[in-house]
Amino acid sequence: MTEPHPLPLAGITVVSLEQAVAAPFATRQLADLGARVIKVERPGGGDFARRYDTTVHGQASYFVWLNRSKESLILDLKAPEGREILDELIATADVFVQNLAPGAADRMGLGAAALQARHPSLITCTVSGYGTSGSWSGRKAYDLLVQCQTGLLSITGSPDEPARSGISVADIAGGMYAYSGILSALFTRATTGRAPAVEVSLFDALAEWMSQPAYYTRYGGAQPPRIGAQHATIAPYGPFTAADGKDVMLSIQNEREWDALCVTVLGLPGLVDDPRFRTGPDRVAHREELNAIVAARFADLGSEEAGELLDRAAIANAGVNSVAEFLDHPALIERDRWREVSVPGAPGPVQALLPPVDLGGVAPRMDPVPAAGLHTGRILAGLGRSAADIERLRARGVVETDDPYHGAAPDDIMPAQDNSS
């Protein structure tokens, strides 16, 4: 059997002052690729996302998703000794990530300029709400607030009521751009020796994803309407309820598909050249009439029969699945996309999806989700602290540890390259 290739980020150390979703999502993906990610958490419970819910054997679903394969260090950064430990860690790191409250990093001397003056080869990544300049830079920015400010809510939902996206789309967008930005910076450093600072705001990330409706609005004179699960600018494109009560989504993208829908699925060949529906814009303009025709046909078909007719016509379609149905999707099971990951306090491992990018010959890292402070002792031991020093710091509240090693650093935890100037 062929041995897997080494993980591409093995040997890279990331120190992250992170909380919630965006920054942890970025660093988890770095950990997937083999980076050592040291997650610095606050005393008294750590990252507040640990307590968003308790659905995964007592752990928060958000936290389990975002924090596998990381090391947890609980550190009081208000204590001088806590700050000294952080500075030592940063000196050994390749990447420093933070999504602290607006202005907090600069007040602590952890802004990008200050850090890179001390550590020229350190890549810094700042994840903010609205950027670090301008009148909005000091505002708090949660996912739903950013959805509001970018106009996403105004185009999502029914005609009568806007709706939040069902996932934290602004946070996810910000995390993805932070991740790709860090990878780009690592490549730049490897090829030129320069370590560029990375900055991502949730607002800018989601603004990019809003570009199509922005173009449509600026140059079309009106924004796309809010029409539920249908497509705002293509028709028919939406869910239709079959006779057995299951919704089936179909999408007509071009004239060939329109002809096939009329002939093969609807059984109405005369509809092809109906002037109300001849072109894409015509079909959008007469959406209600067209939807009524399609809905009447689907009311006579079972969902499987409707899907078979659509497949025969080579028209894209899908059943509207519940989350439970998604979990058992053949595209996941047949392709072996599930793995097991350990979670603190759980009676056994939980199921986790493989990262979506497959790298040929590389098996992604899928290590446990850490308990709060689990790695405190071994991280401090890696910095040269003795067991007595670690116990003294713990007794004074500078650190918290749930570390069974209590300072005995195992062989797999090694100090990274010193990047200090």
- For the stretch 160-209, pLDDT in tens is 889 888 999 999 999 999 999 999 999 999 999 999 999 999 999 999 99
**For tokens 């890549």, what's the residue?**
123
pLDDT of residue 158: 87
Q: Distance of alpha carbon 224 from its chain centroid, rounded? A: 26
- The CATH number that applies at residue 203 is 3.40.50.10540
Whether 332 maps to a domain, the answer reads no
**Whole-angstrom Cα distance, residue 111 to residue 117?**
10
Q: Are residues 288 and 348 in the same domain?
A: no
> What backbone phi and psi angles, to 5 degrees, belong to 238?
175, -175
Measured at the alpha carbon of residue 377, what is the angle toward residues 374 and 380, in degrees to the nearest 5? 125
Q: Are residues 192 and 243 in the same domain?
A: no
Determine the structural domain holding residue 351 and report its residue range. 13-210+338-400
Integer angstrom CA distances of residue 388 from 124, 379, 392: 33, 14, 6
Q: Are residues 262 and 383 in the same domain?
A: no
pLDDT of residue 197: 96
Whether 420 maps to a domain, the answer reads no
Q: Are residues 76 and 206 in the same domain?
A: yes
Query: What confidence category does residue 8 fall into, taking pLDDT thresholds of 50, 70 and 90?
Result: very high
Q: Are residues 167 and 38 in the same domain?
A: yes
pLDDT of residue 128: 94
Whether 415 maps to a domain, the answer reads no
- Kindly report the average pLDDT of the chain as a whole number: 91
Whether 231 maps to a domain, the answer reads no
Whether 112 maps to a domain, the answer reads yes
Whether 8 maps to a domain, the answer reads no
For residue 236, say if its preceding peptide bond is cis, omega within 30 degrees of 0: yes
Q: For residue 385, what is the DSSP state? A: -
Q: Are residues 275 and 378 in the same domain?
A: no
- The CATH number that applies at residue 259 is 3.30.1540.10
Radius of gyration over every alpha carbon of the chain, rounded to an integer in angstroms: 26
Does the pTM exceed 0.75? yes
Strand partners, 97: 16, 125
Q: What is the dihedral of CA 388, 391, 396, 398, to 10 degrees?
A: 100
Query: What confidence category does residue 357 fall into, taking pLDDT thresholds of 50, 70 and 90?
Result: very high
Q: Are residues 382 and 270 in the same domain?
A: no
- 14 closest CA partner among 107, 34, 177: 34
Q: Are residues 244 and 202 in the same domain?
A: no
399 φψ region: left (φ > 0), alpha (ψ -120 to 50), beta (else): beta
In a 13 Å sphere around the CA of 183, the CA atoms on its Cβ side amount to 16
The neighbour count for residue 304, using CB atoms within 10 Å, is 13
> Does residue 82 carry a pLDDT above 80?
yes
Query: What confidence category does residue 417 fall into, taking pLDDT thresholds of 50, 70 and 90?
Result: very low
Q: Are residues 33 and 122 in the same domain?
A: yes
Q: Are residues 161 and 295 in the same domain?
A: no
**Whole-angstrom Cα distance, residue 63 to residue 369?**
8
pLDDT of residue 416: 34
Q: For residue 254, what is the DSSP state? A: S
Q: Are residues 152 and 298 in the same domain?
A: no
**Whole-angstrom Cα distance, residue 130 to residue 204?**
7
pLDDT of residue 35: 97
Token pair of 369 as six digits: 């989700």
Whether 116 maps to a domain, the answer reads yes
> Does residue 411 carry a pLDDT above 80?
no
Domain count, the chain: 2
Q: Distance of alpha carbon 256 from its chain centroid, rounded? A: 36
Q: Are residues 286 and 349 in the same domain?
A: no
pLDDT of residue 102: 85
Whether 7 maps to a domain, the answer reads no
